[in-house]
Amino acid sequence: MSEISRILDQMDRAFSGDAWHGPSLWCLLEGIPAEDASRHSVHGAHSIWELVNHVAAWNVIVARRLAGESPEVTSEMDWPPAWEASEVTWKRSLEHLTESHRRARKAAEGLRDDQLDDKLSAKGESAYVTLHGLIQHDLYHAGQIAILKKNAAAQ
């Protein structure tokens, strides 16, 4: 099995698959209504919706970096706002998350193992570090979503 195949497997497990640690990001998001997703139930913390938009943004940023682009990551790009809190707009955010994951996965799938050491950013991060960082990022925010989801259920 190639290293790219292993990375893709980990991306899939973190996002929607059989993750070793527990529920994947997508499993955690199942059944969350827009009202709960938009709630700031922990002082100073982002909402679930903001976290979803943030994770999607970084999937897009990484896909662009893998395509050879060097996007300037602005605050609004890093943390896109959650606008009107409705079931329709929440569904759109979830669809965007799925599409952004697909886009990042496709970009990674197009790499060869010998390209994993290629530098993608001015900071000198390799494709390998960037892809593993994306997986870690998904899981970090999945943990936050798990806590916020439990908090919403308790209210």
pLDDT of residue 124: 81
Q: CB count, 10 Å around CB of 96?
A: 17
Each of the 155 residues of the chain gets a pLDDT tens digit; together they read 899 999 999 999 999 988 888 899 999 999 999 999 999 988 889 999 999 999 999 999 999 999 999 998 999 999 998 878 899 999 999 999 999 999 999 999 999 999 999 998 767 899 999 999 999 999 999 999 999 999 887 77
C-alpha–C-alpha distance, residues 124 and 35, integer Å: 41
CATH assignment, 3-154: 1.20.120.450
Q: Please, what's the b/e burial string for 117-132 (b: 16 or more CB within 10 A of its CB; e: otherwise)?
A: eeebeeeeeebbbbbe
C-alpha–C-alpha distance, residues 122 and 15, integer Å: 27
C-alpha–C-alpha distance, residues 118 and 12, integer Å: 23
pLDDT of residue 43: 86
C-alpha–C-alpha distance, residues 151 and 130, integer Å: 31
Please state the domain extents for the chain. Answer: 3-154
pLDDT of residue 19: 82
pLDDT of residue 137: 97
In Å, how far from its chain's centre is CA 133? 10
Sign of CA dihedral 126, 127, 131, 137: positive
Please provide the distance, in angstroms rounded to a whole number, between the alpha carbons at the two ends of the chain.
Answer: 46
Helix (H, G, I), strand (E, B) or coil at 67: coil
Contact between residue 41 and residue 149 where contact means Cβ atoms under 8 Å apart: no
Helix (H, G, I), strand (E, B) or coil at 2: coil
Tokens of 107: 């970009």
Tokens of 129: 């570090």
pLDDT of residue 96: 98
